[in-house]
Amino acid sequence: MTHTHCKKHPDVPATASCAACKTSCCDDCMGPLGVCTSCWYKIVAALFIVMMVSASLVWSLWGF
């Protein structure tokens, strides 16, 4: 870990680093699967977009 304090909370010591963006985070900023909350929201948003596009393709190809 290069920094000793959380990126979002400068007064709180960092306890881990994000697996995706490698920033130092405190326990409050860490999300599931070892990624920070900002990366977690980006992953969830990307998965949602992929699911919506695939559902749209299935809908148009099978004519529901």
Going from N- to C-terminal start, the domains of the chain cover 16-62
According to the model, what pLDDT value does residue 3 have?
56
The H-or-E segment that residue 24 falls in is: strand 24-25
Place of tokens 């304090």: 5
pTM, entire model:
0.71
pLDDT tens, 1-35? 445 788 888 888 988 899 999 988 898 889 888 89
CB atoms inside a 10 Å sphere around CB 7? 17
List C-alpha distances in Å: 23 to 6, 14, 35, 48: 8, 9, 9, 24
